[in-house]
């Protein structure tokens, strides 16, 4: 008692240091018994919570709207279903093992019960023989023993009879024990068979759940594959559109160059013809006046078209938004496939005005596959700029524009995941990085 009083006044550390060995042993035993139980319960709770979370995630994945879901949401939903399927597969394996074990136990206990039947038959036969022996032999009494002249012989006979009676009681005990064992074995066999049936019901539930999860998984994977195919189709279409745009730009500029040369030649011929006509008129006038002096006017060419040749420089940023996707090869953030990007994606909202990057002439203003509503401006010297995905076009082919002039509005037409401006700089029809041309 004195130790308990002192123990209450001690700090936990002092109590631990000063406690008798017996007390420490008791505490250790208590914690040794309680801690595993608590730990096991906590693990079961955590497993149950994890299973519940996985089931909730799988249910949410099954209800996902694939049409409006983002790519990452689809992959996350597939991962949730994968986890649920893996969990159910592990439970199915465990249930199948438990069914096999329960059926094996049922067979074992049934065999034991049947083996006891043989022992019961043998014991019953021995007991019957013992009962017959006891019945046909005369019973001994104290009076018969006194009347017997040979007391030693009677004592021996009495001992044999006691042995027979004892053997009979032992046979009865063995019979009852064997019957009890048979009954236990039969009950164990029934219990094992019932456990196997219960496990089969659980297995059927797990199989149904995993079938539903796999069906949802296949649907989501098909949607992901469709989006991958769309991405690859987009890459192919944009590659072809890039080639088509390059060919068209070269064709248009070749035609413009041919027209320019034709105009120059026509202007030269017109000037020569005008000069010849002026000379003829002067000669005729001189002949009429008798003067031999002729004056030939100087040739002029006021019809010469303005030239846009020279080094190209962007004088106006098409939209104020930042670059959200640079020029060059880019990898899909979800699917991992690579596609070449032939320009810059500049951030913007639908309807934002788009400015011409520099002075030039509009050589194309129409819908282009992959690019949507697109304007192409020639700046001379083989330089052109391209403005794609527009919601509205504000210029037409042949329009002369100055840097900063409105040529359309930001949109999301063609292969586009949202409103922005796709801006390109091309040299002789070939796309090049626009960044070096910004001031």
* 151-208 pLDDT tens trace: 566 566 555 555 555 566 676 677 677 778 777 778 877 777 787 777 777 777 778 8
pLDDT band at 261 (very low <50, low <70, confident <90, very high): confident
* Dist. CA 421–CA 387, nearest whole Å: 7
Least confident of 114-128, 145-159, 384-398, 409-423: 145-159
Q: Where are the alpha helices (DSSP H) in 137-150?
A: 142-147
pLDDT band at 131 (very low <50, low <70, confident <90, very high): low
In which element (H, E) is residue 297 found? none
Residue 129 above 80 pLDDT? no
Overall CATH class of domain 323-437:
mainly beta
Whether the CB-CB separation of 154 and 148 falls below 8 Å is answered with yes
> Quick one: CA dihedral 159, 165, 170, 174, positive or negative?
positive
Whether the CB-CB separation of 367 and 388 falls below 8 Å is answered with no
Tell me, what's the pLDDT at 73? 74
Here the tokens at position 171 are: 């046979």
**Verdict on whether the full-model pTM lies above 0.75:** no
Here the tokens at position 106 are: 């049922």
* Dist. CA 373–CA 412, nearest whole Å: 9
Whether the CB-CB separation of 343 and 434 falls below 8 Å is answered with yes
- Running DSSP on this structure, what letter comes out for residue 189? H
The residue among 395, 377, 394 whose CA lies nearest residue 386 is 377
Residue 117 above 50 pLDDT? yes
In terms of CATH architecture, what is 71-231? Orthogonal Bundle (1.10)
pLDDT band at 137 (very low <50, low <70, confident <90, very high): low
Whether the CB-CB separation of 365 and 396 falls below 8 Å is answered with yes
pLDDT band at 48 (very low <50, low <70, confident <90, very high): low
> Quick one: CA dihedral 221, 223, 226, 228, positive or negative?
negative
* Angle CA 438–415–359, to nearest 5: 30
Tell me, what's the pLDDT at 168? 61
* Dist. CA 309–CA 86, nearest whole Å: 67
* Dist. CA 146–CA 211, nearest whole Å: 90
Tell me, what's the pLDDT at 294? 47
325-339: pLDDT as tens digits: 999 988 876 777 788
Whether the CB-CB separation of 315 and 357 falls below 8 Å is answered with yes
Tell me, what's the pLDDT at 277? 84
Residue 295 above 70 pLDDT? no
The residue among 333, 338, 426 whose CA lies nearest residue 388 is 426
Average pLDDT over residues 113-129: 72
pLDDT band at 276 (very low <50, low <70, confident <90, very high): confident
Indicate the Cα dihedral angle 374, 379, 384, 386, nearest 10°.
Answer: -30
Tell me, what's the pLDDT at 44? 64
Structural domain spans, the chain: 2-62, 71-231, 323-437
Here the tokens at position 346 are: 């500049």
pLDDT band at 107 (very low <50, low <70, confident <90, very high): confident
Tell me, what's the pLDDT at 410? 98
Q: Is residue 435 helix, strand or coil?
A: helix
* Dist. CA 71–CA 60, nearest whole Å: 16
Least confident of 190-199, 226-235, 297-306: 297-306
Tell me, what's the pLDDT at 12? 45
* Dist. CA 411–CA 390, nearest whole Å: 4
73-85: pLDDT as tens digits: 767 878 877 877 7
The residue among 333, 119, 88 whose CA lies nearest residue 231 is 333
Mean pLDDT, the chain, rounded, equals 76
Whether the CB-CB separation of 317 and 437 falls below 8 Å is answered with no
Residue 402 above 50 pLDDT? yes
Average pLDDT over residues 254-283: 86
Residue 113 above 50 pLDDT? yes
User: Dihedrals φ, ψ of 141, to 5°?
Assistant: -125, 170
Residue 99 above 90 pLDDT? no
**Per-residue exposure over 310-322, b if at least 16 CB sit within 10 Å of its own CB, e if not:** eebebbeebbebe
């Amino acid at each position: 008692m004195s130790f308990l009083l002192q123990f209450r006044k001690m700090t936990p550390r002092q109590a631990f240091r000063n406690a008798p060995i017996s007390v420490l042993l008791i505490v250790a035993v208590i914690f040794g018994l309680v801690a595993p139980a608590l730990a096991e319960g906590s693990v079961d709770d955590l497993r149950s919570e994890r299973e519940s979370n996985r089931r909730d995630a799988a249910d949410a994945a099954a209800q996902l709207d694939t049409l409006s879901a983002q790519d990452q949401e689809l992959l996350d939903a597939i991962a949730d279903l994968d986890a649920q399927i893996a969990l159910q597969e592990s439970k199915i394996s465990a249930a199948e093992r438990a069914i096999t074990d329960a059926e094996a136990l049922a067979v074992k206990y049934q065999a034991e019960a049947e083996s006891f039947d043989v022992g019961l038959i043998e014991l019953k036969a021995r007991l019957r023989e013992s009962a017959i022996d006891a019945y046909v032999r005369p019973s001994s009494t104290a009076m018969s023993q006194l009347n017997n002249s040979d007391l030693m012989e009677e004592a021996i006979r009495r001992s044999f009879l006691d042995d027979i009676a004892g053997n009979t009681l032992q046979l009865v005990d063995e019979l009852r024990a064997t019957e009890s064992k048979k009954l236990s074995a039969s009950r164990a066999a029934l219990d094992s068979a019932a456990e196997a049936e219960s496990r089969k019901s659980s297995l059927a539930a797990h199989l149904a759940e995993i079938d539903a999860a796999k069906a949802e998984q296949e649907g989501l994977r098909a949607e992901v594959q469709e989006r991958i195919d769309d991405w690859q189709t987009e890459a192919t279409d944009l590659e072809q559109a890039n080639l088509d745009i390059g060919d068209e730009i070269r064709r248009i500029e070749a035609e413009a160059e041919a027209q320019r040369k034709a105009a120059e030649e026509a202007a030269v011929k017109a000037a020569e013809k005008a000069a010849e006509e002026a000379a003829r008129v002067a000669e005729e006038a001189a002949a009429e006046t008798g003067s031999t002096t002729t004056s030939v006017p100087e040739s002029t060419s006021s019809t010469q078209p303005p030239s846009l040749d020279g080094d190209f420089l962007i004088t106006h940023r098409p939209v104020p938004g930042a670059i959200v996707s640079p020029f060059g090869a880019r990898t899909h953030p979800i699917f991992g496939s690579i596609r070449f990007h032939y320009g810059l994606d500049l951030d913007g909202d639908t309807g934002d005005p788009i400015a011409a990057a520099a002075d030039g002439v509009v050589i194309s203003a129409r819908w282009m596959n992959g690019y949507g509503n697109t304007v192409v401006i020639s700046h001379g010297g083989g330089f052109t700029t391209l403005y794609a995905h527009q919601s509205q076009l504000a210029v037409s082919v042949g329009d002369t524009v100055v840097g900063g002039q409105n040529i359309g509005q930001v949109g999301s037409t063609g292969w586009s995941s949202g409103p922005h401006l796709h801006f390109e700089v091309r040299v002789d029809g070939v796309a090049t990085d626009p960044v070096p041309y910004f001031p």
